[in-house]
C-alpha cells in the first residue's frame, strides 16, 4: 500500500514536467545554440531550426535546395546536402553550412535567412578568422575535370588553400599542394603583436603531379605570410605538421620519409616572432608521432609514439613553463589516432586522468614490436596483436599535473547500498567514445569538483554491458560513488545541482533526474514507446532546467516500420523546486551550502600549492541554485610538499622518488662554463604552483673546470656518481633506512646532499596518506593483496574528503 501511495505521489509530482516531442528524418550529428534559436543537423543532411529553445522545429531542407538552385542556374547536378555546421567565433549568429558538393550556405542570423555560395568546387576545413568576422580560409582538392579528360591532357590532383574576405561570397586560391593551414592569431591579445593577416601553412613549394597524402611528408615546408601569400617566409624546412596555441607553436619536422620518423620543434609566439628549439626530452628513441594533449595550464602535456607507426602505446611527457624541456610523466598510455585516452578535469587545476595498458602486457607487446622491427621495419609481429591490448586497460589519475599517477579509489558500496567485495579492486572509467558507445567522462567548469563517468570495478576496464555502471565524484576524482547500475548517458545543470540521465545501451522511454547528487532519483516516462537515446544536452550556460534528449525511434504506420530521429525537449522548471538558502552562512546549521577545499594525495586541503576554499551546495540539499553563484571564497598559498614537484629532465619516477634514468646522471659542465654550473637534484616545481617553504629540492652548484676549486668539486662529483649508482641499485635499502632515520642526522657533504634530495623522506603524515594511493602491483602475494584491500576499502575514513573540462595531432 505504501508503495502504491509513493508511486501516485511521484506520478502527480512529475505530471508538471513540460515535454515536447518532435520526430525528424534521421538521428542528429550536430546541434548548435544561438541563444533562443537552436539549429540541428541530421545524418541525412537535413537542417532543423527552433526559435523557442527546442520546443518546436522547422525543417529547412527545401529552403537550402531552392537557394542552391539559384546559384547553379537551376542545374540540379551539383547541389549536394549539408554535412556540417561551422559557427563563427566572432558572432555566434554567423553560421556556415558546409556541403557535400560545390555549394555551401551561410547565414548571418542563425538560419532565419540563408544565402547559397558557389565556389565552383567542394570546400573543406573551413576556418573563420578569430577577429575579422568576414574572413574565412578553406581547402579544396583540385580534381580532374571532364574537359581535361576529353582533351586527353595530363590531370593532377592536389589540395589548394582558398581565401574569402566577404563572408564566403567570393574565393581565390592563395597556395597549392597544401598539407595543413591555420590563421596565425588565436584571439585579440595575440593580434597585438602578430599581424591579423598572418596565415601559417605547410605545403610543397615545388609540388608537381599528384599530391602525396602520407602522414609525414618530407617535401612539405612550413611557411607563414602576412599578406595572404603574396609573399611568404620559410619557417621550418620539412615542417610537415604543426600546432599553434596562444603561447606555443609546435612543428613536426620529418627526418625520414621511409620510417616516418619526426623531430619536434617548439617556439614561443610572443612578439609575433618564431625562434625554434628542438624539444629537450629524456628519450632519444624512434619518434613516429606527437600529439599535444593539453596546453591550458602554462605547461604542455604531450604523448609520443616511440614504437611503430600507428602503435596503440604512447608515453606522456610534461614540459616546464618554457615548453622546451620535457620529462616522462606516464608510460604505456592508450593512444588514439589523433590523441590519447586522456582528460583534464574542468574547473580544477592540476587534475588529469589517463587510461594505460597494464605494465606486464605492455612489455610483452613492446618486445614483440622490437623483434619485428629487427626483421624489417614493417614486419608484422607474431603473437600479441594491437587489439589484444584493449583487454588490459586501466585508469590512472594525477592531482599534481603529472607528477604522480595513481589508481582510482573504488567506492565501498554499490548503487543499492551493498558492500563491494573484490580482490585487487580499482575503478576504471571510459575516457573516450572512440571505439565503444559507453558515455565518456564529463565535467563542467561551473560545477566544481563534480565528475560523472561510466566504468567498472576490477583489475581492468570492462566493455561488457553487464559490468559497466555509472559513477560520480564530488571531490575532483579523489573518491567515487556508484550512482546507478548500468551505463547511462548524462547531463548536469544548475552548477551541478541537477543531474539528468537516461539508459544508453538499451531502448528506453524514461529519464531519471536527481537534485541531490544521485542520492535519490526520480524517474519520468517522457515517451509512450521506447527509443534509443543518443545524448542529453542542456543550454550552453548549464544553469537552467531545460534539456534536450535526442536519438532514434522505430515508428509504425500502416503496418510499415520506419526509423526516425527523435528530439525531446524536457523542461523541469514547472516542478518549482525550492530555492537554496544560506549563501551568506555556508557550513552553518540551516544553510544549504558548505565550504569545500580540493585536496591532493599528500598535503591535506592543498592542491597545486594553494588552498582554495569554495562554497557549493551540500549534496543532500535538494534545492535550486541561483544562476549567479559566487563560488571561490578564499585562496591562500600552502607549504610545499613532495606533491608540488615533478621529475626534472633526465629523471623518472620510481617508487615515489625521482631517480636518474638508467641510473646515470649527466654531470658534464656546459661547453661555455663561467665560474659555476648547476646539476639538478632530480626535481622541479610544477609550473604555476605557488607553494611556499616546506620541502625544497635546490640544484647543486659546482665550480667550472677552469675555476681554482675544480679539483675538489670533481672529487665530489666522483663521489656523487658512485653514490647515485649505489642508490639506484639499492633503492629498497635506502628507503628502509630513511624510514628509520631523521633527516637532521644525515651527513651534509655535497654528495650526501644530492643523495638526500634524491631519496628525501616525506613527513610522516604525508607518507601515511601517500601509501594508501600508491600504484598497485597486481602481482603481489596474497598477504600483500589482503593488506591493500583493507587499506583501500575498509579504512577510507582516513582519507575521505567532506561528502560534499582539444586534442590535436601535429
Give the whole-angstrom CA distance, residue 277 versus residue 57: 53
What does the pLDDT look like over 224-243, one tens digit per residue?
999 999 999 999 999 989 99
Q: How many CB atoms lie within 10 A of CB 237?
A: 13
If pLDDT is split at 50, 70 and 90, which confidence band does 49 have? very high
- Judged against a pLDDT cut of 50, whether residue 530 lies above it is answered with yes
If pLDDT is split at 50, 70 and 90, which confidence band does 745 have? very low
Instruction: Give the residue from 432, 477, 451, 443 showing the smallest Cα distance to 346.
Output: 443
Contact 644, 695 (CB under 8 A): yes
Three-state DSSP at 37 gives strand
- The grid cell for 1 is 500500500
Sequence-ordered list of residues with C-beta below 8 angstroms from that of 736, at least 6 positions apart, any chain: none
For 440, list phi and psi in degrees, rounded to 5.
Answer: -80, 170
Residue range 436-456: mean pLDDT, rounded: 92
What does the pLDDT look like over 347-382, one tens digit per residue?
998 899 999 999 999 988 888 887 777 666 545 545
The three-state DSSP-derived secondary structure of 696-751 is CCCCEEEECCCCCCHHHHHHHHHHHHHHHHHHHHCHHHHHHHHCCCCHHHCCCCHH
Sheet holding 469-473, edge to edge: 426-429, 451-458, 469-473, 481-484
Angle 36-42-44 (CA atoms, 0-180°, nearest 5)?
A: 150
Give the whole-angstrom CA distance, residue 737 versus residue 296: 40
Give the whole-angstrom CA distance, residue 106 versus residue 84: 12
Sequence-ordered list of residues with C-beta below 8 angstroms from that of 748, at least 6 positions apart, any chain: none
Quickly list DSSP for 118-185.
E-SS--EEEEE-SS-TT-EEEEEEE---HHHHHHT-----EEEEEEESSTTSS-EEEEESEEEEEES-
Instruction: Give the residue from 670, 678, 679 showing the smallest Cα distance to 650.
Output: 679
Contact 713, 703 (CB under 8 A): yes
Give the whole-angstrom CA distance, residue 14 versus residue 16: 5
Three-state DSSP at 790 gives helix
Three-state DSSP at 758 gives helix
Query: Which uninterrupted H or E stretch holds 753?
Result: helix 750-758
pLDDT at 730: 63
What does the pLDDT look like over 296-323, one tens digit per residue?
877 899 998 887 777 899 999 998 888 8
What does the pLDDT look like over 92-138, one tens digit per residue?
999 999 999 989 999 999 999 999 999 888 999 999 999 999 999 99
- Judged against a pLDDT cut of 90, whether residue 12 lies above it is answered with no
Q: Would you give the distance in Å from CA 581 to the centre of its chain? A: 35
What does the pLDDT look like over 170-185, one tens digit per residue?
999 999 999 999 999 9
Give the whole-angstrom CA distance, residue 810 versus residue 808: 6
- Judged against a pLDDT cut of 60, whether residue 58 lies above it is answered with yes
pLDDT at 32: 94
For 278, list phi and psi in degrees, rounded to 5.
Answer: -70, 140
- Judged against a pLDDT cut of 70, whether residue 742 lies above it is answered with no
Instruction: Give the residue from 194, 298, 180, 303 showing the smallest Cα distance to 243.
Output: 180
Owner of C-alpha cell 598559498 = 637
Contact 521, 503 (CB under 8 A): no
Instruction: Give the residue from 273, 329, 239, 374 showing the smallest Cα distance to 686.
Output: 329
pLDDT at 732: 57
- Judged against a pLDDT cut of 90, whether residue 550 lies above it is answered with yes
- Judged against a pLDDT cut of 60, whether residue 2 lies above it is answered with no
pLDDT at 371: 79
What does the pLDDT look like over 642-662, one tens digit per residue?
888 888 877 888 877 888 877
What DSSP state is assigned to residue 626?
A: P
Count CA atoms closer than 13 A to 198's CA, side-chain side.
Answer: 21
pLDDT at 724: 55
- The grid cell for 55 is 520546443
Give the whole-angstrom CA distance, residue 568 versus residue 526: 8
pLDDT at 239: 92
Q: How many CB atoms lie within 10 A of CB 511?
A: 29
- Judged against a pLDDT cut of 80, whether residue 673 lies above it is answered with yes
Instruction: Give the residue from 564, 643, 547 showing the smallest Cα distance to 19.
Output: 547
pLDDT at 475: 93
Do the strands 692-694 and 639-640 form a parallel or antiparallel pair, or are they unpaired? parallel
- Judged against a pLDDT cut of 70, whether residue 8 lies above it is answered with no
Contact 526, 549 (CB under 8 A): yes
Angle 54-58-64 (CA atoms, 0-180°, nearest 5)?
A: 130
Characterize 312-335 residue by residue with b for buried, 16 or more Cβ atoms within 10 angstroms of its Cβ, and e for exposed.
bbbbbbbbbeebbbbbbbbbbbbb
Residue range 713-727: mean pLDDT, rounded: 56
Characterize 671-700 residue by residue with b for buried, 16 or more Cβ atoms within 10 angstroms of its Cβ, and e for exposed.
eebeeebebbbbbbbbbebebeeebebebb
Quickly list DSSP for 261-294.
EEEEEEEE-GGG----EE-EES--S---EEEEEE
Give the whole-angstrom CA distance, residue 312 versus residue 473: 29
Give the whole-angstrom CA distance, residue 142 versus residue 209: 11
Indicate the range of 29-33, 365-369, 579-583, 773-777 predicted with least confidence: 773-777
Model confidence, pTM: 0.81
Contact 534, 552 (CB under 8 A): yes
Give the whole-angstrom CA distance, residue 647 versus residue 656: 10
- Say how many residues make up the chain: 810
What percent of the chain has pLDDT above 90? 51
Indicate the range of 282-286, 365-369, 675-679, 728-732 predicted with least confidence: 282-286
Instruction: Give the residue from 425, 400, 399, 423 showing the smallest Cα distance to 411.
Output: 425
Give 298's strand partners. none
What DSSP state is assigned to residue 678?
A: E
Three-state DSSP at 653 gives strand
What DSSP state is assigned to residue 377?
A: T
- Judged against a pLDDT cut of 90, whether residue 569 lies above it is answered with yes
Residue range 246-271: mean pLDDT, rounded: 85
pLDDT at 170: 93
Distances (CA, A) of 114 to 64, 68, 93, 117, 389: 7, 10, 12, 10, 49
- Judged against a pLDDT cut of 50, whether residue 285 lies above it is answered with no
Amino acid at each position: 500500500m505504501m508503495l502504491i501511495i509513493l508511486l501516485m505521489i511521484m506520478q502527480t509530482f512529475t505530471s508538471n514536467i513540460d515535454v515536447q516531442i518532435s520526430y525528424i528524418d534521421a538521428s542528429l550529428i550536430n546541434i548548435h545554440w544561438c541563444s533562443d534559436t537552436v539549429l540541428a543537423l541530421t545524418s541525412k543532411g537535413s537542417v532543423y531550426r527552433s526559435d523557442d529553445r527546442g520546443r518546436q522545429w522547422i525543417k529547412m531542407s527545401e529552403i537550402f535546395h531552392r537557394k542552391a538552385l539559384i546559384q547553379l542556374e537551376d542545374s540540379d547536378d551539383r547541389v549536394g546536402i549539408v554535412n556540417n555546421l561551422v559557427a563563427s567565433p566572432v558572432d555566434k549568429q554567423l553560421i556556415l553550412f558546409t556541403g557535400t558538393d560545390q555549394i555551401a550556405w551561410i547565414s548571418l542570423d542563425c538560419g532565419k535567412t540563408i544565402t547559397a555560395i558557389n565556389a565552383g568546387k567542394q570546400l573543406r576545413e573551413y576556418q573563420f578568422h578569430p577577429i575579422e568576422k568576414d574572413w574565412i580560409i578553406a581547402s579544396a582538392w583540385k580534381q580532374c575535370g571532364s574537359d581535361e579528360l576529353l582533351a586527353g591532357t595530363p590531370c593532377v590532383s592536389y589540395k589548394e588553400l582558398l581565401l574569402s574576405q566577404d563572408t564566403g561570397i567570393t574565393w581565390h586560391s592563395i597556395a597549392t599542394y597544401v598539407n595543413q593551414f591555420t590563421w596565425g592569431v588565436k584571439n585579440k591579445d595575440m593580434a597585438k603583436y602578430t599581424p591579423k593577416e598572418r596565415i601559417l601553412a605547410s605545403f610543397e613549394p615545388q609540388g608537381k603531379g599528384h599530391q602525396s597524402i602520407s602522414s609525414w611528408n618530407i617535401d612539405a615546408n612550413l611557411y607563414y605570410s602576412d599578406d595572404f601569400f603574396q609573399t611568404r617566409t620559410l619557417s621550418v624546412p620539412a615542417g610537415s605538421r604543426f600546432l599553434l596555441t596562444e603561447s606555443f607553436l609546435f612543428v613536426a619536422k620529418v627526418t625520414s620519409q621511409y620510417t616516418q620518423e619526426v623531430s619536434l620543434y617548439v617556439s614561443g609566439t610572443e612578439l609575433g616572432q618564431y625562434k625554434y628549439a628542438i624539444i629537450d626530452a629524456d628519450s632519444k628513441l624512434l619518434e613516429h608521432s606527437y600529439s599535444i594533449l593539453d596546453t591550458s595550464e602554462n605547461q604542455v602535456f604531450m604523448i609520443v609514439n616511440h614504437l611503430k607507426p600507428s602503435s596503440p602505446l604512447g608515453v606522456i611527457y610534461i614540459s616546464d613553463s618554457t615548453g622546451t624541456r620535457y620529462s616522462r610523466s606516464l608510460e604505456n598510455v592508450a593512444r588514439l589516432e589523433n590523441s590519447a585516452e586522456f582528460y583534464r578535469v574542468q574547473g580544477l587545476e592540476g587534475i588529469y586522468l589517463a587510461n594505460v595498458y597494464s605494465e606486464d602486457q605492455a612489455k610483452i607487446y613492446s618486445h614483440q614490436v622490437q623483434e619485428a622491427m629487427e626483421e624489417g621495419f614493417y614486419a608484422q609481429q607474431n603473437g600479441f596483436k594491437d587489439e589484444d591490448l584493449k583487454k588490459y586497460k586501466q585508469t590512472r589519475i594525477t592531482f599534481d599535473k603529472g607528477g604522480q599517477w595513481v589508481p582510482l579509489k573504488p567506492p565501498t558500496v554499490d548503487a543499492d547500498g551493498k558492500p563491494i567485495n573484490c580482490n585487487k579492486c580499482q575503478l576504471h572509467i571510459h575516457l573516450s567514445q572512440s571505439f565503444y558507445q559507453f558515455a565518456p567522462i564529463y565535467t563542467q567548469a561551473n560545477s566544481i569538483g563534480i565528475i560523472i563517468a561510466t566504468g567498472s570495478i576490477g583489475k581492468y576496464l570492462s566493455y561488457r554491458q553487464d559490468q559497466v555502471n555509472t559513477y560520480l565524484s564530488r571531490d575532483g576524482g579523489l573518491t567515487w560513488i556508484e550512482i546507478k547500475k548500468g551505463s547511462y548517458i548524462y547531463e548536469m545543470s544548475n552548477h551541478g545541482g541537477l543531474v539528468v540521465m537516461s539508459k544508453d545501451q538499451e531502448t528506453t522511454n524514461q529519464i531519471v533526474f536527481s537534485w541531490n547528487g544521485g542520492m535519490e532519483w526520480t524517474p519520468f516516462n517522457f515517451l509512450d514507446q521506447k527509443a534509443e537515446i543518443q545524448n542529453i544536452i542542456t543550454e550552453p550556460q548549464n544553469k537552467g532546467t531545460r534539456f534536450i534528449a535526442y536519438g532514434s525511434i522505430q515508428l509504425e504506420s500502416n503496418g510499415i516500420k520506419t526509423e526516425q530521429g527523435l528530439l525531446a525537449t524536457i523542461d523541469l522548471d514547472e516542478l518549482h523546486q525550492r530555492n537554496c538558502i544560506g549563501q551568506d552562512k555556508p557550513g552553518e546549521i540551516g544553510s544549504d551550502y558548505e565550504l569545500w577545499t580540493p585536496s591532493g594525495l599528500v598535503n591535506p586541503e592543498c592542491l597545486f600549492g594553494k588552498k582554495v576554499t569554495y562554497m557549493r551546495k551540500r549534496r543532500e540539499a535538494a534545492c535550486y541554485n541561483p544562476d549567479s553563484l559566487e563560488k571561490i571564497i578564499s585562496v591562500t598559498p600552502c607549504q610545499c610538499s613532495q606533491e608540488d614537484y615533478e621529475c626534472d629532465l633526465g629523471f623518472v619516477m620510481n617508487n615515489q622518488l625521482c631517480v636518474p634514468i638508467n641510473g646515470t646522471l649527466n654531470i658534464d659542465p656546459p661547453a661555455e662554463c663561467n665560474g659555476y654550473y648547476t646539476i639538478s637534484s632530480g626535481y622541479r616545481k610544477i609550473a604555476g604552483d605557488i607553494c611556499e617553504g616546506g620541502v625544497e629540492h635546490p640544484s647543486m652548484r659546482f665550480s667550472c673546470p677552469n675555476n681554482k676549486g675544480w679539483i675538489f668539486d670533481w672529487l665530489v662529483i666522483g663521489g656523487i656518481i658512485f653514490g647515485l649508482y649505489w642508490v639506484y641499485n639499492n633503492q629498497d635499502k635506502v628507503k628502509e633506512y630513511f624510514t628509520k632515520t631523521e633527516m637532521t642526522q644525515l651527513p651534509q657533504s655535497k654528495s650526501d646532499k644530492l643523495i638526500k634530495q634524491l631519496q628525501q623522506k616525506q613527513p610522516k603524515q604525508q607518507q601515511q596518506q601517500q601509501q594508501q594511493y600508491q600504484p598497485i602491483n597486481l602481482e603481489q602475494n596474497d598477504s600483500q593483496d589482503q593488506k591493500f584491500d583493507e587499506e583501500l576499502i575498509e579504512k577510507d575514513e582516513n582519507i575521505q574528503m567532506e561528502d560534499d573540462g582539444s586534442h590535436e595531432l601535429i
